[in-house]
Structure 1
């Protein structure tokens, strides 16, 4: 990857006032999930406008489509799965495209769901609307192993080959000593497709970000048996991804976006009405629509998915080390090795620091 911005000179004038963004309007992509919230808050709450940019949000139902549109320049940037900038930079599943994670949009927030038939077989129950004991995830995985019948391979879905959901699903299966290659079948499906696919019998379970896991449970087509909060606590889940070439061409615009997201995160954290207002925005037809109809408010850090939105937006390479350790076997299976320089470039805080002047800060 090419050298990135090393100081705040590109985005701030000598008087300390931010330089105006190079772009007056732009489009960011998102996938309908709760952790698109900061983008939606910044758009609907006017935080992008305060920074001098008019942002349109483009709903993309599949991560591969979103990835390709960012790489082709059809989107200026997007909500991305945390491993996606690295996968794009390494040329996994497509031609290489140097990509960086300019901010962390969310941490954890995933659920692992089994069909009601399999959930009953492993003894997973629902207590007061919450999944049965999260601490029993390993025990449930062992029971899942015991329930497997010779000659059958349950089909389990994740959202993208290089995703936290894929890594979490493999982690849970490993807790039950289940051979991913011979005892189950893994497939990739877009998040909005998961609940219907489970109801129609196309899959037997899935790992996905909220609200789709709790929606499956609410509609009584599946049951949550584990959460990302238990399997990999506080891991970076979604990031703001842009190509390195876009960041070099529009550094002031990127800074404006990051300042707007920081302001949106602070509002979400402190304003008394923030969660209910955010849920109302998420429920608008361009965003998540009826998929959040079962929620009373934005369920930050609450069962079943434990999403952390707006917490520590500043990217730190060390925060991604757990993901990378889990990702390494998948890279090795393709004859690939991770170089430290690419990892550090993908998840550097330099752009966030240039925008916010919070060098070394561990706050939004």
Structure 2
């Protein structure tokens, strides 16, 4: 690396929540891809998205793995005080699971079973609605990870497939991802929508059944993104370029061979990261049914966030500023980093 491209801030702290789609930052650190860009990166594990949001906004983190809707929600002041936030890199696509307790999921098809119920999420949604209407009160309690998350919005979309009102027919609560499985097993919730590995872990442990996935509801959607504040990006443009290039290199390495997927799984299973949460996974599952987790197509595109924008606009009771959306999810920093890589 030439001195002219050396990062202004070589020591960084990046935040993450223990999920499979924290894979690229973890691989970039453990595999030496951050180091190759001149960065000494510390990864800070946080249990809740609200903590990650607050630390990023306060400048306690240089960057963070963020829920795809969160940069825009932060910029608009919908999630705490307004904080102009950018999402210059997609960290993962798909990966969410909608899980119900056995009481509610009995007889439902697993996603991608060779049955109508497995191929069409509306079939299981119809069964759920019929049971809810038959049983009446108390309303089932369904958990999602954060009010401004694709999990929340996908859960609402799934319920609406058979005309249920998410605000009246069920009780929606927010829980950190790592608490979902235990809460389901203890009967504190009746289901949840969460990122991997928690959905397959619930099924593996026998606590619930996967009845729909984010890949069915929003195929190929950006699920997690790298987030930085605009102020930080403007002060550290070369550091941001290096921060983007390292996960891109990690994604290329990951896709190169099955052995790399197994190595990545072992890195993610280290105690600082996901630890025992991966015990049920022999390798890092990518592009496989039912979850179809992907770490490809990392270039951000505002047009791919249409469902997110629609839900946020509905919450605000009007349309959103198109320029604000385009600026938040602009590919300008990604393209600059990719161009430097080809130079």
Q: What TM-score comes out, normalization by structure 1 length?
A: 0.89
- TM-superposed CA distance for 1:131, in Å, is 11
Task: Find the counterpart in structure 2 of residue 3 from structure 1.
Answer: none
List aligned pairs for 1:23-42, cutoff 5 A.
23-42=9-28
Query: Do the aligned residues in 2 keep the contact of 1:134 with 1:230 (CA within 8 Å)?
Result: no
Aligned length: 340
Deviation at 1:290, TM superposition (A): 0.8
Following TM superposition, by how much is the alpha carbon of 1:19 offset from its aligned partner in structure 2, in angstroms? 1.3
Q: In the TM superposition, what are the counterparts of 1:1-364 in structure 2 within 5 Å?
A: 19-120=5-106, 123-125=107-109, 133-148=117-132, 149-309=135-295, 311-332=296-317, 337-357=319-339
Determine the C-alpha separation between the residues in 2 that align with 1:131 and 1:231. Answer: 17
Aligned to 1:8: none
Structure 1 gaps of 5+ residues are 1-11
What SS is found at the alignment partner of 2:255? helix
Q: Distance in 2 between matches of 1:118 and 1:131?
A: 19
Does the CA-based 8 Å contact 1:130-1:303 persist in structure 2?
Answer: no
The 8 Å contact of residues 167 and 327 in structure 1, kept in 2 or not, is answered as no
Q: Write the distance in 2 (CA, Å) between the matches of 1:323 and 1:356.
A: 26
RMSD (Å), alpha carbons: 2.2
Q: 1:155 to 1:131 in 2, by over 3 A?
A: farther
Separation (CA, whole Å) in 1 of partners of 2:225 and 2:304:
12
Instruction: State the secondary structure of the residue aligned to 1:308.
Output: coil
Distance change in 2, residues 1:143/1:62 (3 Å):
same
Tell me, what secondary structure is at the counterpart of 1:105? strand
The aligned counterpart of 1:4 is: none
Q: Which runs of 4+ in 1 moved over 6 A?
A: 127-132
Within 2, Cα distance between the matches of 1:46 and 1:106?
Answer: 20
Q: How much has 1:132 moved relative to structure 2?
A: 9.4
Q: 1:214 to 1:25 in 2, by over 3 A?
A: same
Residue matched to 1:7: none
Q: 1:135 to 1:48 in 2, by over 3 A?
A: same
Change (3 A) 1:319 1:128: closer
- Whole-angstrom CA distance in 2 between matches of 1:129 and 1:135: 7
Give the Cα separation in 2 of the matches to 1:132 and 1:307: 22
Superposed displacement of residue 182, structure 1? 1.4
